[in-house]
Structure 1
Amino acid sequence: MKKGLFNLSEVATYFFRKKDPNRKTNFNLRTMHTINKISILMFLAGIVYFIVKHI
């Protein structure tokens, strides 16, 4: 089994990154990141709901 398979540090730090001043942003990129954040939160909420429901 690979060592970094369950490394969730990138997912955890995705919400708390500082903006890179050298990177150019546009509407599409901001929208993509917003949708990604919403989907991660919905997935985690579903996992928590599933665990609580079955305990």
Structure 2
Amino acid sequence: MSRIAGYFKLGEVFRYFIRVFRKPDPNHPTSVNLRMMHGINRISIVMFLIAILVYIIRHI
């Protein structure tokens, strides 16, 4: 795979977005820090999507 194609490979990013909103796997160990990190990531993803939506609505 060329280096440029590697930069545009977004499959793992989208898999993370989906994984963050699922319930945690009981086989993996969890800690308070990990749960807090995923909670903050959920909030930031939702805020980003709302901001993109507002931006699109204002420019249409």
Structure 2 unaligned regions, length at least 5: none
Measure the CA separation in 1 of the matches of 2:37 and 2:23: 17
Identity %: 48
Are 2:24 and 1:19 aligned? yes
Once residues 18 and 9 of structure 1 are traced to their aligned partners in structure 2, the CA distance between those partners, rounded to angstroms, is: 16
Structure 1 stretches lacking a partner, 5+ long? none
Q: Does 1:32 align with 2:32?
A: no
Aligned length: 52
Letter in 1 for 2:50: A
Structure 1 runs of 4+ aligned residues shifted over 3 Å read 1-5
Letter in 2 for 1:33: H
TM-score of the two chains, using structure 2 as the length reference: 0.68
- TM-score, structure 1 normalization: 0.73
